[in-house]
Amino acid sequence: MRILKMSAYFEPEQVATTHLHKDLRAAYVKAGFTMVDYVPRPTRGISDEVYAEYKNKKYEEMNDGKVVIHRFAMFREGTNPIQRAIRYVLVNLIQYFKGSRAKDIDVIMAGSTPPTQGVLCGLVKKRLKVPFIYNLQDIFPDSMVNANMTKEGSLIWKIGRKVEDFTYRSTDKIIVISEDFKRNIMAKGVPEDKIVVVPNWVDPSSVYPVERKDNILFDRYGLDREKFYICYSGNIGHSQNLRLLLDAAKALKEDLPDMRLVLIGEGVMKEELEEMIRAEDITNVIMLPFQPYEDIAHVFSLGDAGLIISKAGIGGSSVPSKTWSIMAAERPIVASFDENSRLSQLIREADCGIAVEADNLTALVDAVKTLYNDRQAGEAMGKTGRKYLVENLDKEKCVGAYVDTIKSVIAAHQASKE
């Protein structure tokens, strides 16, 4: 059985779901699948040297030839939203041309970043006459509305809803990452039997607690091992509440002089954030680049606590996958997130951190002070978080659900032709 993918990003690019893609590829190969992917030249989270290295790399094989990567030329991704949109469209046009000519394909699989992937794969499905499975990690245009990038009823929102409707109609199955997501798209008319809920996961053998004395990032970036660190790792974009984050750092500067907020990652708002830090002389914030996946255990073990922060209203349409990595690294979570979200419920249920209402500066500052003043409580939360993860979020079960979904969709399609 051959899976066709047309990914927006692929290794060596670093994205929040890199570990999920690696685990799934391994599971597909084990199940006897072959995966063919048409991807642009890598750009996100890589150095100029790596970008240059891939100038002439057009074809790669991985996993003993069971994963085949076809790369094509494309200019680098910038931070300008119009430039990024143009790049996405050009990438999708090339992928349509190449994907619609792929041979012996049994199923198409796509993720939801960028949201045009669903339209692309829906159109390729019509050409190849094979089923299409959509993995919904971000609900568009809801996420743009929640991040205050547009308003409900705007032209962008209307276009987004058309894109969303076309994608859902084109799919044979939609894999969503939470019950919140399921309820969201069912309210938009997606039938329940078309939806499969599979939470994101992390492999606790890949992400584990690293003692501070052994953590290579302290030496790599000259960090003082004696200070108290709150660490955010992931996308630096519009949905994260960056203004609140910096205001919290400023509010804590005097009361907790040896506290540092460490931000690890890339994103469209990174340059603006750096400028805000310089302009306001916020000296207790440290910004580090995205780290290679092989250092993921060190990344999530860097802080005394892991931070999850977003603007109000995001909780129903976004589930941060970094949650599991923080728990796996045995660190307590500080979450500034919608109180009625699954994330906040999980933190209370697993007793693995402190969840406060999104946009509440005082509550966020108090949460950091609580963990600073009671280190033993934070350590205990970290241990219960990892225990909960190991007992309740089985990687093999999750990847197995993907494999089973693919097999069932292909079988149903073949039966319909008989």
* CA dihedral of residues 83, 85, 89, 95 (deg, nearest 10): 90
Contact 319, 343 (CB under 8 A): yes
- DSSP helix/strand/coil, 131: coil
How far apart are alpha carbons 383 and 209 in whole angstroms?
10
- pLDDT for 327 equals 96
Q: At what angle do helices 270-279 and 242-255 cross, to 10 degrees?
A: 30
pTM: 0.84
> 320-342 burial by CB neighbour count: b if 16+ within 10 A, else e?
bbbbbbbbbbbbbbbbbbbbebb
Q: Cα separation of 152 and 381, whole Å?
A: 39
Instruction: Give CA torsion, residues 329, 335, 338, 339, to 10 deg.
Output: 90
Q: Which of helix, strand or coil describes residue 17? A: coil
pLDDT per residue rounded down to tens, the chain (418 residues): 999 999 999 999 877 777 889 899 999 999 999 999 999 999 887 888 988 999 989 999 999 999 999 999 999 887 777 888 899 999 999 999 999 999 999 999 999 988 899 999 999 999 999 999 999 988 888 877 776 777 888 988 898 899 999 999 999 999 998 888 899 999 999 999 999 999 888 889 989 999 999 999 999 999 999 999 999 998 888 788 889 999 999 999 999 999 999 999 988 889 899 999 999 999 999 999 988 888 999 999 999 999 999 988 876 556 688 999 999 999 999 999 998 888 898 999 999 999 999 999 999 999 999 999 999 999 999 999 999 999 888 889 999 999 999 999 999 999 987 7
Separation CA 20–CA 365 (nearest Å)? 32
Q: Which residue has the tokens 């406060």?
A: 356
Domains 2-201+394-417 and 212-392 share a fold: yes
2-201+394-417: CATH topology is: Rossmann fold (3.40.50)
The structural domains of the chain, with segments of one domain joined by +, span: 2-201+394-417, 212-392
Q: Which residues contact 28 (CB under 8 A, 6 or more apart)?
A: 3, 35, 66, 67, 403, 406
What is the spatial distance between Cα 395 and Cα 381, in angstroms, rounded to a whole number?
22
Q: Given this model, what pLDDT does residue 317 score?
A: 57
**What pLDDT was estimated at residue 18?**
79
Strands across the sheet containing 195-197: 59-62, 67-72, 34-40, 2-5, 107-111, 132-136, 173-176, 195-197
> Which among 110, 101, 108, 122 is positioned nearest to 9, based on CA atoms?
110
**How far is the first Cα of the chain from the last one, in angstroms, to the nearest whole number?**
18
Give the Cα separation of 180 and 160 in Å (integer): 20
- 40 prior amide bond cis, ω within 30: no
For 20, phi then psi, to 5°, come to -65, -45
Query: Which pLDDT does position 153 carry in this prediction?
Result: 85
Q: Which residues pair with 70 in a beta bridge?
A: 38, 59
Q: How far apart are CA 317 and CA 326, in angstroms?
A: 20
Sheet hosting strand 333-337, strand order edge to edge: 285-288, 259-264, 228-233, 305-309, 333-337, 353-357
- DSSP state letters, 240-304: S-HHHHHHHHHHHHHH-TTEEEEEE---TTHHHHHHHHHHTT-TTEEEEPPPPGGGHHHHHHSSS
Round to whole Å and give the CA distance between 360 and 368: 13
Please say whether the beta carbons of 336 and 364 come within 8 A.
yes
Distance separating alpha carbons of residues 105 and 1, to the nearest angstrom: 7
Sorted by sequence, the CB contacts under 8 Å of residue 208 that are 6+ apart come out as 297, 301, 328, 329, 330
User: In the 8-state DSSP scheme, what is residue 42?
Assistant: P
The bridge status of strand 59-62 relative to strand 67-72 is: antiparallel
Fold type of domain 212-392 = Rossmann fold (3.40.50)
CA distance 330 to 304: 10
